[in-house]
Chains A and B, each alone.
Chain A
Amino acid sequence: MSAATGGRPKAFGGFFSVAWAVAGRQVYKYFTNPAFLAPALFPLFFFVAFAGGLTSVGDVPGFDYAAGYIAFQFVWALLQAVAMGGAFTGFSIASDFENGFARRLMLAASDRRGIILGYTLASIVRVTVTGTLVTVLAILTGMPISGGYDLFGLIGLALLVNVAATLFGAGIAMLMRTGQAGPVIRTPIFLVLFLAPVFVPLNLLEGWIQTVARLNPFTTILDAARGFLAGAPTGVLPAYAIAFALVAVFALWALYGLRRAEKAGS
């Protein structure tokens, strides 16, 4: 790392060189260990189970998603895959603290904020692969793609969800600095994903889950993402506003975690 070996470079250069080095190491680790595909396993499995087993739910009166039930489930599975990709990056950070690597990294980095960016960039690379895997499976199982250029809107939302989940996980991992951060990162993400209109659109939900899903910001993102895939974008501005807001809030959260880790002398 140049910051470690060539004296202290300018702050801005240090920030990016640290980020680049951390991202490079993480990406190398991913591609030399098949376990990097782990975040895709559960979304793939849920996609197969729900899109395969529940197709007839698309025949329920009032189910009006034009692209069909497989596409309806695909969007949720894709967003789950990218969110879990973020969570798994959090696990990696926690593991790096546990095995002592993070301590050496923090000593060497000229601008430690670059560490957060580095992990985030690596997380994006990881979910590009896992997201592609989920998409290929969906296409193989007969998912129609009717969104055209709107699909870029879906990809944009998926990236923002990944970045937000990564920053959330990074904050927790840097605060706890132990492998026990795993469930603390995973459980809230899992709950947010499931307390949304997973099986049917919001208007077909009933009771408490409809109330919770309506209040869940992820519902707006999910609805917009499904609209992009169907070629009928809806609620795009609120969805992007929420996604950017989540990224901003969790970026501050990750920085707070970093400061706490610095104070703890990790």
Chain B
Amino acid sequence: MSSASLGVQVTSLARRSTIRTLRQPAVLVSAILFPLMFFAINANGLTAATKLPGFPTDSYLDFAFAFPLVQAALFGAITAGSDLARDIESGFFDRLSLTPMRPSALLLGMLMGVVALGLIQGVVFLAVGLLFGVNIQSGIPGMFVLILFTVLVALAFGGIGAMLALRTGSVEAVESAFPLFFVSIFMSSINLPRNLIEQDWFRFIATVNPISYLVEGIRSLVITGWDLQALSVGFACALALIALSLSGASAFLRVRVAR
């Protein structure tokens, strides 16, 4: 089968994945409204933290802007992973295996759906953030980088969702991973810079948690401008997560197809 036909297969399945997501109002609420709600509450509830000596900005709204982007990527991953698991549970995946369509097209299509959702979320959050006074220090070029970063984070989480779906083939198992993902976001430097975290054990967890570096990469574009170190570490982390999760998903895909 030629690579062009693989492209057509991926496009069809990506369209299916995106339309399926857009047709579920509850998923859209989770993917758009919940991150915005948490952002609004956290950003306003923790404004006083900017009075701490050494806090990097005087606007907690700017500081917290990475939160909805990362949280939205997480919701997107769970949604995509659940959809893939549902395809396995319902037998769609098995039926697909009997057609000339490649199983890898299902995985890639799902991931393209994640990218599309991540793109929509990035644009919506950026628009809402700007409307409510978030000041992006890196300017308009930084906004494009910020959306690219969001899409990469969505792809990394999406790969993990796919891994879980292909490994377990169970919607329930994928959705039960949600608290774990959610915890991992909060156990990072999402709420305070690492140097201002007083508890040693928490600072250690935040330092070894790759999400801290994704958050700090996005945050640097908002509150600092062009911080090459934060950006390069953030991008490296995102790409490493993507490579690891996609390798894992591909391996589980091969196992599932071989059954």
**A62 and B48 contact, CB distance less than 8 A:** yes
Residues B61-76 near A (CB distance < 8 A): none
**B191 and A206 contact, CB distance less than 8 A:** no
**Residue from the list B46, B182, B183, B206 in contact with A57, Cβ < 8 A:** B46
Task: Report the bound CA distance from A198 to B45 in whole Å.
Answer: 7
Residues A198-226 near B (CB distance < 8 A): 198-200, 204-209
Task: Report the bound CA distance from A192 to B186 in whole Å.
Answer: 21
Which residue of the partner chain B has the closest CB to A203? B48
Q: Does A54 interact with chain B (Cβ within 8 Å)?
A: yes
Enumerate chain B residues within 8 angstroms of A60, measured Cβ to Cβ: 48-49, 51-52
Number of interface residues of A (CB under 8 A): 32
Q: Is the interface of B mostly helix, strand, loop or mixed?
A: helix
Q: Does A156 interact with chain B (Cβ within 8 Å)?
A: no
Enumerate chain A residues within 8 angstroms of B182, measured Cβ to Cβ: 45
Which residue of the partner chain A has the closest CB to B202? A52
**B52 and A59 contact, CB distance less than 8 A:** yes
* B-side interface size class: 20 to 34
Q: Does B131 interact with chain A (Cβ within 8 Å)?
A: no
**A206 and B179 contact, CB distance less than 8 A:** no
**What are 20 residue pairs bridging A and B, where the CB atoms are less than 8 Å apart in the complex?**
A41-B179, A49-B187, A53-B186, A53-B202, A55-B199, A56-B192, A57-B46, A57-B192, A60-B48, A60-B52, A63-B48, A183-B26, A191-B37, A195-B41, A198-B45, A205-B44, A205-B47, A206-B44, A206-B47, A208-B44
A residues contacting B by CB (< 8 A) are 41-42, 45-46, 48-50, 52-57, 59-63, 183, 191, 194-195, 197-200, 204-209
B residues contacting A by CB (< 8 A) are 26, 37, 40-42, 44-49, 51-52, 179, 182-183, 186-187, 191-192, 196-199, 201-202, 206
